[in-house]
């Protein structure tokens, strides 16, 4: 279906690919992995014909249809969510407008309605609509929302509509760039199950380890300007990559020993006339060997550092009593009671818009309570991490200065180490905060929490803007955290490793499950048996 041969690509003097090759077969499920900046998105653009290649070929089957979901979509116009999902073209859209106008006037017998009806039918509109509705339902839309203009929704919800459009189209090669970013856990479960029975091939970039483990069967790693193929899911790939490195390292050591042995011969007999021809032969041999030997790059390791001990809090960290909260006529909570105790690790789950972030902001003191009472323990030191919150940063500091200022007891070596784990390279630590991107500021804010942790840590989607190794570093750090943790995340790997209590938020009610993610799935009826039922909705 897709064959790449001898691909070479250089951008701004940096070679991303050198004689790289890969093949994707019909129906294969493939993940493209590599550190940030390795060239994953560039490779996607070359496959899609959006970027030129320097050398080599990118060939696709001439009969194959390729569909692509980018990380962001443009601003929607007046089309509805359902119209986006159906992939309605301008001709169909005009026909729909005429049909709706005629239906409003009760004029279905008119010539205009008949022509519009025929146009809509000829474009398979009546076949696409039920399929689009089923997929949109799985992704979290209700019937009323499907009929509303897309401009009424947030960017994340519009992205779901574009994902639905791709699934309705059902391309032979489905290319996905971070497809789970805008999904809550319920829609993620549905999407995961849907892809299990997807008839086409899938090529994805993702930082969601559990999602990849569930879906993919092949990993292609961008390594040393090559595309290296591994059979199996992501966990299997990580094990194979480590084994491959050890084997490559042993080969390298053996080659260097052989070079040393030959060089010893050259030095011993360099001045012996009778050995001149043998010496010259070995000089050529060793020069050739040195030119061909490549020292293997060690796989990036998860950085571990000593997590500062937060101050001890009261047993009752937060207590909410009879909380009422609304946005206009939209009631979020009515009579909510909730107690959070010292040492709990709580994940908030539930559909988007259910009130998870609102609850987090109430506890953080950012959203004033309409009615009710909230008591914060007098020894509670609260910290709120939002992926959009950067007002605590000093824009004139360098990245390194900002981290060191957060905790004077933290040394520079450890600061550089933890910054490296969160994608700040050697030269990046000297950048001024004011020139950082939004994602970089979010990551820097996260590092500041890690080096000077409060005893109540509230985190809203902390894995956003992180790659897989950075997520592992965060998990490792948080496992050593002795304070109280309340967080929202759609990263199942992150949740599974940290949550010991699950709060399901929906329709103004908060249901407590005294267990982690898998316990919640089992007790709420969202385990494997229920997943099939979700797909059938």
Residues 358 and 482 in one domain: yes
Domain annotation covers residue 274 = yes
Last residue of some domain: 228, 260, 292? Answer: 292
Percent of the chain topping pLDDT 90: 38
Is 28 exposed, middle or buried (CB count within 10 Å of its CB: 0-12, 13-18, 19+)? middle
Residues 379 and 470 in one domain: yes
For the chain, the straight-line distance linking the first and the last C-alpha, in angstroms and rounded, comes to: 32
Residues 257 and 391 in one domain: no
Q: What is the CATH number of the domain that holds 386?
A: 3.40.50.300
Confidence grade of residue 496 (pLDDT, cut at 50, 70, 90): very high
Q: What pLDDT, on a 0 to 100 scale, did the predictor assign at position 246?
A: 87
The whole-number average pLDDT for the span 158-171 is 90
Q: Cα–chain-centroid distance for residue 10?
A: 26
Please state, rounded to an integer, the average pLDDT across all residues of the chain: 86
Domains contained in the chain, number: 2
Domain annotation covers residue 481 = yes
CA distance 447 to 135: 38
Residues 376 and 472 in one domain: yes
CB-facing half-sphere around the CA of 70: CA atoms within 13 A: 8
Number of H helices, E strands in the chain: 19, 18
Condensed to tens digits (0 to 9), the pLDDT of residues 210-255 reads 999 999 999 999 988 999 999 999 999 989 988 888 888 898 899 9
Coil, helix or strand for 459?
strand
Confidence grade of residue 121 (pLDDT, cut at 50, 70, 90): confident
CA distance 464 to 490: 10
Condensed to tens digits (0 to 9), the pLDDT of residues 175-185 reads 999 898 888 88
Q: What pLDDT, on a 0 to 100 scale, did the predictor assign at position 69?
A: 85
CA distance 212 to 133: 26
- pLDDT above 60 (res 535): no
Which domain does 388 fall in, by range?
Answer: 316-396+434-535
Q: What pLDDT, on a 0 to 100 scale, did the predictor assign at position 331?
A: 85
Residues 457 and 504 in one domain: yes
Domain annotation covers residue 265 = yes
Domain annotation covers residue 287 = yes
Q: What pLDDT, on a 0 to 100 scale, did the predictor assign at position 36?
A: 75
The answer to whether 215 and 195 are in contact (CB under 8 A) is: yes
Residues 377 and 452 in one domain: yes
- pLDDT above 60 (res 156): yes
- pLDDT above 60 (res 531): no
Confidence grade of residue 452 (pLDDT, cut at 50, 70, 90): confident
Task: Pick the most confident of 71-75, 127-131, 139-143, 504-508.
Answer: 139-143
Residues 6+ apart with CB under 8 A from 516: 347, 495, 496, 499, 500, 501, 502
The whole-number average pLDDT for the span 518-536 is 61
What is the sign of the dihedral through the CA atoms of 16, 21, 26 and 27?
negative
The answer to whether 335 and 324 are in contact (CB under 8 A) is: yes
Q: What pLDDT, on a 0 to 100 scale, did the predictor assign at position 465?
A: 77
Facing residues of 371 across strands? Answer: 324
Instruction: Return the closest-CA partner of residue 253 out of 296, 212, 288.
Output: 296
CA distance 10 to 52: 10
CA distance 178 to 192: 13
Instruction: Return the closest-CA partner of residue 329 out of 289, 370, 300.
Output: 370
Residues 348 and 285 in one domain: no
Condensed to tens digits (0 to 9), the pLDDT of residues 51-97 reads 999 999 999 988 888 989 876 666 777 788 998 898 866 676 677 77
The whole-number average pLDDT for the span 413-419 is 86
Residues 243 and 346 in one domain: no
Residues 473 and 381 in one domain: yes
CA distance 469 to 422: 8
Domain annotation covers residue 480 = yes
- pLDDT above 50 (res 536): no
Domain annotation covers residue 59 = no
The answer to whether 512 and 359 are in contact (CB under 8 A) is: no
CA distance 445 to 478: 15
Residues 463 and 503 in one domain: yes
Residues 382 and 520 in one domain: yes
443/387: higher pLDDT:
443
Flag the least confident range among 366-370, 435-439, 508-512: 435-439
Condensed to tens digits (0 to 9), the pLDDT of residues 30-53 reads 999 987 778 999 999 999 999 999
- pLDDT above 60 (res 150): yes
- pLDDT above 90 (res 24): yes
The whole-number average pLDDT for the span 105-117 is 82
Angle between helices 185-196 and 528-535 (to 10 degrees): 80
Facing residues of 29 across strands? Answer: 202
- pLDDT above 70 (res 533): no
Facing residues of 509 across strands? Answer: 506
CA distance 460 to 337: 21
Facing residues of 340 across strands? Answer: 318
- pLDDT above 50 (res 534): no
- pLDDT above 70 (res 303): no
Facing residues of 57 across strands? Answer: 5
Domain annotation covers residue 111 = no
CA distance 58 to 6: 9
Condensed to tens digits (0 to 9), the pLDDT of residues 455-490 reads 999 999 888 878 888 888 889 888 888 999 999 998
Q: What pLDDT, on a 0 to 100 scale, did the predictor assign at position 464?
A: 80
CA distance 162 to 470: 28
CA distance 299 to 120: 54
Domain annotation covers residue 389 = yes
CA distance 532 to 373: 42
CA distance 34 to 109: 59
CA distance 89 to 122: 12
Q: Which tokens in the block code for residue 448?
A: 């500041």
Q: What pLDDT, on a 0 to 100 scale, did the predictor assign at position 125?
A: 67
- pLDDT above 70 (res 257): yes
Facing residues of 33 across strands? Answer: 221
Kindly list the strands in the beta sheet with 316-327, ordered across the sheet, starting from the edge strand earlier in the chain.
330-341, 316-327, 371-376
Condensed to tens digits (0 to 9), the pLDDT of residues 351-367 reads 877 889 899 999 999 88
The whole-number average pLDDT for the span 408-421 is 84
Flag the least confident range among 132-136, 265-269, 385-389: 385-389
Coil, helix or strand for 197?
coil
Percent of the chain topping pLDDT 70: 93
Residues 342 and 385 in one domain: yes
- pLDDT above 80 (res 127): no
The answer to whether 388 and 352 are in contact (CB under 8 A) is: no
Q: What pLDDT, on a 0 to 100 scale, did the predictor assign at position 537?
A: 33
């Amino acid at each position: 279906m897709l064959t790449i041969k001898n691909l070479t690509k250089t951008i701004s003097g940096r070679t991303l690919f050198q004689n790289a090759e890969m093949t994707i077969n019909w129906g294969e499920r493939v993940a493209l992995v590599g550190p940030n900046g390795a060239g994953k998105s560039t490779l996607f653009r070359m496959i899609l014909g959006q970027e030129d290649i320097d050398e080599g070929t990118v060939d696709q089957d001439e009969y194959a249809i390729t569909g692509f979901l980018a990380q962001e979509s443009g601003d929607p116009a007046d089309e509805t969510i359902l119209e986006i999902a159906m992939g309605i073209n301008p001709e169909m859209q005009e026909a729909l407008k005429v049909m709706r106008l005629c239906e409003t006037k009760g004029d279905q017998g008119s010539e205009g309605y008949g022509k519009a009806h025929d146009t809509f039918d000829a474009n398979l509109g009546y076949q696409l609509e039920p399929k689009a509705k089923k997929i949109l339902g799985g992704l979290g839309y209700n019937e009323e929302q499907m009929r509303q203009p897309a401009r009424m929704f947030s960017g994340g919800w519009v992205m779901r509509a574009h994902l639905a459009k791709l699934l309705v189209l059902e391309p032979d090669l489905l290319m996905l760039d971070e497809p789970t970013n805008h999904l809550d856990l319920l829609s993620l479960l549905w999407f995961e199950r849907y892809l299990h029975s997807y008839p086409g091939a899938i090529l994805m970039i993702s930082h969601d380890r559990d999602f990849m483990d569930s879906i993919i069967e092949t990993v292609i790693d961008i390594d040393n300007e090559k595309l290296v193929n591994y059979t199996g899911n992501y966990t299997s790939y990580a094990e194979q990559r480590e084994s491959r490195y050890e084997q490559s390292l042993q080969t390298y050591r053996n080659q260097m020993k052989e070079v040393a042995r030959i060089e010893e011969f050259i030095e011993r007999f360099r001045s012996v006339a009778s050995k001149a021809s043998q010496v010259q032969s070995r000089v050529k041999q060793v020069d050739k060997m040195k030119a061909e030997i490549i020292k293997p790059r060690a796989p990036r390791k998860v950085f571990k550092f000593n997590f500062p001990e937060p101050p001890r809090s009261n047993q009752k960290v937060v207590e909410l009593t009879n909380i009422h909260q609304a946005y206009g006529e939209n009631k979020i909570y009515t009579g909510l009671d909730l107690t959070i105790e010292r040492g709990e690790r709580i994940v908030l789950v539930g559909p988007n818009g259910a009130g998870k972030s609102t609850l987090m902001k109430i506890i953080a003191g950012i959203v004033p309570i309409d009615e009710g009472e909230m008591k914060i323990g007098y020894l509670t030191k609260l910290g709120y991490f939002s992926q959009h919150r950067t007002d605590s940063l000093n824009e004139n500091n360098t990245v390194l200065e900002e981290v060191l200022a957060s905790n004077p007891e933290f040394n520079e070596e450890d600061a550089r180490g933890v910054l490296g784990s969160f994608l700040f390279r050697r030269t990046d630590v000297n950048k001024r905060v004011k020139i950082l991107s939004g994602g970089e500021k979010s990551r820097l804010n996260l590092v500041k929490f890690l080096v000077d942790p409060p005893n109540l840590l509230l985190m809203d989607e902390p894995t956003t803007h992180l790659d897989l190794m950075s997520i592992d570093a965060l998990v490792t750090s948080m496992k050593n955290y002795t304070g109280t943790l309340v967080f929202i995340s759609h990263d199942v790997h992150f949740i599974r490793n940290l949550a010991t209590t699950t709060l399901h938020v929906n329709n103004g009610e908060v249901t407590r499950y005294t267990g982690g993610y898998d316990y919640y799935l089992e007790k709420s009826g969202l385990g494997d048996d229920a997943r099939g039922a979700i797909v059938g909705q």
